[in-house]
Amino acid sequence: MFRTFKILAAAAAMLLAGALGAADAADVTPDDTARFLAGMMPSVDSPLMALTKDPSWQRHARFFDSAFGQLDQRQMSKVRAWSDANLTAPKPTMFYMFSGPDFLYADAFYPKATTYVLSALEPPGSVPDLTKVPRGGVDAALANVEHSLGSILSFSFFITKKMKVDLHEGQINGAMPLLYVFLARTGKTVHEVTFVNLDAQGNLLTLEEPGTKQRASTQATAKGVKIVFSDGSGPQQTLYYFSTDLSDGGVKTSGFLQFCAKFGAADSFLKSASYLLHSGSFARVRSFLLDRSAAILEDDSGIPLAFFDAKQWRLQPFGHYLHPLGIFPKAYQPDMAQLFRNAAPLDFGYLLA
């Protein structure tokens, strides 16, 4: 029985098949916070409405309106159309490892997933009640969010070093503000936000916000956030984001792969993964994805073609296979170049990092 695996490269794609606590009326909701950070109007009775009168927020809103509008026309609308035509039997769960806070592409390729599991090194961070942050802090946070999203809006990937600088300090930090922006800008309504950890067996532990009551949790090796949302009036969906080390040494004790295994066969997505899965240091994650995925969609920075057993996987290339960037001199795959000689056309692409 064949499974399907898909790969997306610089201009190429390949298919291979095989809470926050209860709030009173005066509280700022996670959804209003997400919309405010995304440069979108919060609900009319939100305490954040007063902050939207600030010229800095209005400039921020215009910037994101333009940037996301151009991105959708140039890239995301084409991704969604390709997904509709080619990912016709998605699983309820999708795994996106080495993702950073990139819900944008997870949603574009797999909009009907019930559960999204994203994972990377960046910490979940936090987004407090913005009405209680000094004005200068809010203005600085908006500027940092813009700067952190600059690379993915222009090139389709996050620059990890830049994010560490932009979103490391201050009251608004980590992956959370970027996840909020992507959720709001993709038309989602955020219903619940809960900070979580994993134990060594992959069991989900619900926590208070980091740094408050559960100080014993600071030794956890897979810290995360669970976000329940919906697309308009559609059914509720769940996004998990975990900050965890995906190397062999990291996943050996984190419980992350055990957590993922609880969902059964899933669709897996790898993009701009820095060719980490080409090395022996990430063999556990590579084997997990090959064993547990019903389908894998990836670019050539993901799992090397040589690891796919032709008896188990059906390969479907899309686009053009380009030589990796010079900083990855050993990542070129001659067998992939041969495979892509007769690849189906692709009307979008992205740079790899």
What's the confidence (pLDDT) of residue 8? 54
Please say whether the beta carbons of 122 and 174 come within 8 A.
yes
Q: Is residue 350 part of a domain?
A: no
- The stretches of 87-241 forming alpha helices (DSSP H) are 103-109, 135-155, 160-166, 176-185
Please report which confidence band the pLDDT of residue 170 belongs to, taking 50, 70 and 90 as the band edges: low
CB neighbour burial string for 233-252, b if at least 16 within 10 angstroms, e if fewer: eeeebbbbbbbbbbebebbe
Q: Supply the DSSP string of 202-240, one letter for each residue.
A: --EEEESSTTSS-GGGGG-SEEEEEEEEEETTS-EEEEE
Q: At 350, is the pLDDT very low, low, confident or very high (cuts 50, 70, 90)?
A: low
CA distance 234 to 60: 29
Confidence band of 145 (pLDDT split at 50, 70, 90): confident
Top-confidence residue, 48 or 147: 48
344 — pLDDT class (breaks 50, 70, 90): very high
CA distance 5 to 17: 4
**Which has the minimum average pLDDT: 70-84, 127-141, 335-349?**
127-141
Higher pLDDT, 162 or 303: 303
Q: In this structure, is residue 85 part of a structural domain? A: yes
* Separation of alpha carbons 17 and 2, rounded Å: 6
Mean pLDDT of all residues in 238-257: 96
Look at residue 272 in the predicted model and tell me its pLDDT. Answer: 87
Q: Which has the minimum average pLDDT: 9-23, 34-48, 291-305?
A: 9-23
In this structure, are residues 267 and 295 in contact, taking their beta carbons and an 8 Å threshold? Answer: yes
Residue 319 pairs in a beta bridge with 12
Q: For residue 213, what pLDDT band results from cuts at 50, 70 and 90? A: very low
Q: 274 versus 92: which is more confidently predicted?
A: 92
- The whole-number pLDDT of residue 208 equals 63
Residue 299 counted as domain residue: yes
Tell me how crowded residue 223 is: count the other CB atoms within 10 A of its CB: 23
* pLDDT for the residue numbered 128: 82
* Tokens read off for 340: 């892509």
For residues 133 and 62, give the distance between their C-alpha atoms in angstroms, rounded to a whole number.
22
- Residue 153 pLDDT class (50, 70, 90 cuts): low
- DSSP code of residue 50: G
- The mean per-residue pLDDT over the stretch 133-146 comes to 84
pLDDT in the model for residue 322: 85
Q: Does the structure show a pLDDT above 50 at 166? A: no
User: Is 154 contained in some domain?
Assistant: yes
346: which DSSP letter? Answer: -
In a domain, 351, yes or no: no
| C-alpha radius of gyration, the chain, whole number | 20
State which residues form the domain around 301: 3-18+27-342
Q: How many CA atoms lie within 13 A of 231 on its CB side?
A: 11
User: At 143, is the pLDDT very low, low, confident or very high (cuts 50, 70, 90)?
Assistant: confident
Total domains in the chain come to 1
Q: Find the mean pLDDT for residues 66-71.
A: 92
Report the 10 Å Cβ neighbour count for 200: 13
Look at residue 103 and tell me if it is in a domain: yes
Asked whether the whole model's pTM tops 0.75, one would answer yes
pLDDT bin (cut points 50, 70, 90) of residue 25 is very low
Close Cβ partners of 20 (under 8 Å, ≥ 6 residues apart): 30, 192, 193, 194
Cα 10 to chain center, whole Å? Answer: 18
| Angle (nearest 5°) at CA 185 between 143 and 235 | 140
pLDDT at 29 over 70: yes
Q: Is 80 helix (H, G, I), strand (E, B) or coil?
A: helix
For residue 6, is pLDDT > 70? no
**pLDDT band for position 221 (50/70/90)?**
confident
Residue-averaged pLDDT of the chain: 85
pLDDT band at 148 (very low <50, low <70, confident <90, very high): confident
* Beta pairing class for 222-231 and 293-298: unpaired
Least confident segment among 6-15, 67-76, 326-335 = 6-15
Using DSSP's 3-state secondary structure scheme, residue 185 falls into helix
pLDDT value at residue 23: 39
pLDDT category at 195 given cuts 50, 70, 90 is very high
Beta-strand (E) ranges in the chain?
A: 3-9, 11-17, 93-97, 115-120, 188-198, 204-207, 222-231, 236-244, 266-270, 293-298, 313-320
Pick the more confident residue, 62 or 161. Answer: 62
CB 299 within 8 A of CB 13: yes
Mean pLDDT of 303-312: 95
Q: Are 348 and 82 in contact (CB under 8 A)?
A: yes
In a domain, 275, yes or no: yes
- Residue at 352 is within a domain: no
Confidence bin at 146 (pLDDT 50/70/90): confident
